[in-house]
Structures are given as structure tokens and as C-alpha cells.
């Protein structure tokens, strides 16, 4: 069976631009992490019903892959999709930590949509798959497009490729399970200070390298302070020079340009 890679991402920056009903609108730079990915494949079933084989703590109905299946079925009414999932399970070899701000669930959901589109010859474009994916999770659209780097805005549904060299990262994820809704709620109640359009435009046009070199962890990510407030144990894990991905709990820093930074400082 063919194996499909579901890559992780980091948020180079994440800034709030406003509110839309119960959601926060953002501007963020997503960058794919080529060295960290889950592996998905179709596998023989071991039980009846929709089956996901893998190390997951949530119920199947709460899994992003299952939600992607339901959204795809709703959008296409495909009998071949129903037949496929009656015949096969989805096997997931997990490498991306959960509750980590690295997009593992969203990447799994997007990869599942692309797998089904390919094997069933559904003929859906990336734009169509991204629209379906946006009903599943805020970050799914980014992973559908497969860009290495992109500016993501709105509530995650607007994805604009940003052409730049991909960076290599050192990532570590403390064993702190963070609730993204809880962090956003804390931001809204205690830290709400959306950036204006001029600042958003400026950030959208800066390279990821420039941003990481010029912005501190809390300047780059509006969710860092609320996450630290709600999960005080994070303070024990913060290291100087690292940035914060999404709502956490992962910290990261770029590694392969460290010597360049050193040369420029001499």
C-alpha cells in the first residue's frame, strides 16, 4: 500500500487581526517541517465501522480524519468513498505530537482528503478540497495546498503561498496538553490587541528568517502570553532564542542559518 506523508508545520509568527463572531481572525506564516511527519495508508480492517489504526486518545468521531471523511462524503455523496471505507481502515503512524501547535490533526485530515481524491479519482481541485477541509479544521486548507511556506489569514481559510527557502528546525514539545479554545479565550479576555492592516502587510512580506531574527517570542506570537498564563508549567520549558508555534505547547528555533547569523554579528 502507498504511504502518504502528513507533514507538521510551525507558525513563524501568529498575530490576531480581529474577531468574526466567536472566532479570531489571524495573519500567520505557516512553514512546513519536512523532517517531522505522520505516515498514512489504507490497511486491512480489523473491525466493523470506520476504523483508524493508530495511537490516538480521542474517540474516532472526534478524530480529524473521521471528520474529513464525513465532510468529503457530504460534499460528494460518493458511493465509492463509502465502499472504500467499508473495505479499508486508515493506518496512521504517529510522529507529530498531539496538543502541540504543530498541526498534526489538521495535516492528517488534509492528507486523508488527498488520498481519497487520488485513489477514487474524484477529480477535486486543491481549491475544492481546501473548501471542504475548512469545514473540518482551521489549518486543514494549508496542508491541502502543500505549500512549503504560506501566509494564512481569515480564520485559516485564506492561504497564499510565500516563496522562500525552507528552514530547518529544532523542535521540542513539553508534555503539556494545551486547549486551543482556552488559550484564545484568555487572549480575548486579557490580552486582546489586534494589529492593524499596515503591520499585517509588513509581516506578510518579510521572510521567515527576518522575522525570527528580529522578533521575540511574544512579539511574534500573540498566543504565547495567554498560553503561559493558563499553563504556568510552560515557564519551566521556555529556552532563550526559541519561538512558540500556534497555541503551543511546542517551542522551535531555526538551525541551519545559525552560522550565518554568527558571521553577520562579527
- Residue 218 a catalytic site member: no
- Residue 9 a catalytic site member: yes
Q: Which of 9, 67, 114, 206 is catalytic?
A: 9
Q: Which of 114, 139, 206, 222 is catalytic?
A: 139
* Contact criterion met (CB below 8 Å) for 40 and 83: no
Q: Which residues are catalytic?
A: 9, 139
Amino acid at each position: 500500500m502507498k504511504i502518504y506523508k502528513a507533514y507538521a508545520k510551525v507558525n513563524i509568527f501568529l498575530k490576531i487581526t480581529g474577531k468574526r463572531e466567536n472566532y479570531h481572525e489571524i495573519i500567520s506564516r505557516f512553514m512546513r517541517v519536512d523532517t517531522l511527519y505522520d505516515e498514512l495508508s489504507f490497511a486491512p480492517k480489523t473491525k466493523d465501522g470506520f476504523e483508524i489504526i493508530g495511537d490516538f486518545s480521542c474517540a474516532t468521531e472526534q478524530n480529524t480524519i473521521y471528520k474529513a471523511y464525513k465532510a468529503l462524503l457530504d460534499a460528494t455523496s460518493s458511493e465509492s468513498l463509502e465502499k472504500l471505507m467499508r473495505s479499508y481502515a486508515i493506518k496512521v503512524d504517529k510522529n507529530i505530537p498531539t496538543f502541540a501547535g504543530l498541526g498534526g490533526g489538521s495535516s492528517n485530515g488534509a492528507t486523508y482528503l488527498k488520498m481519497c481524491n487520488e485513489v477514487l479519482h474524484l477529480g477535486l481541485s486543491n481549491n475544492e478540497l481546501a473548501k471542504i477541509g475548512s469545514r473540518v479544521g482551521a489549518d486543514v486548507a494549508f496542508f491541502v495546498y502543500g505549500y512549503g511556506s504560506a501566509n494564512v489569514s481569515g480564520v485559516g481559510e485564506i492561504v497564499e503561498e510565500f516563496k522562500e527557502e525552507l528552514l530547518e528546525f529544532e523542535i521540542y514539545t513539553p508534555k503539556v496538553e494545551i486547549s486551543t479554545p482556552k488559550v484564545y479565550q484568555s487572549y480575548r479576555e486579557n490580552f486582546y490587541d489586534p494589529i492593524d492592516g499596515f503591520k499585517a502587510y509588513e509581516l506578510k512580506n518579510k521572510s521567515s528568517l527576518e522575522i525570527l531574527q528580529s522578533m521575540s517570542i511574544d512579539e511574534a506570537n500573540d498566543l504565547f502570553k495567554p498560553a503561559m498564563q493558563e499553563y504556568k508549567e510552560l515557564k519551566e520549558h521556555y529556552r532563550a532564542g526559541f519561538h512558540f508555534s500556534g497555541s503551543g505547547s511546542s517551542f522551535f528555533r531555526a538551525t541551519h542559518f545559525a552560522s550565518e547569523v554568527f558571521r553577520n554579528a562579527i
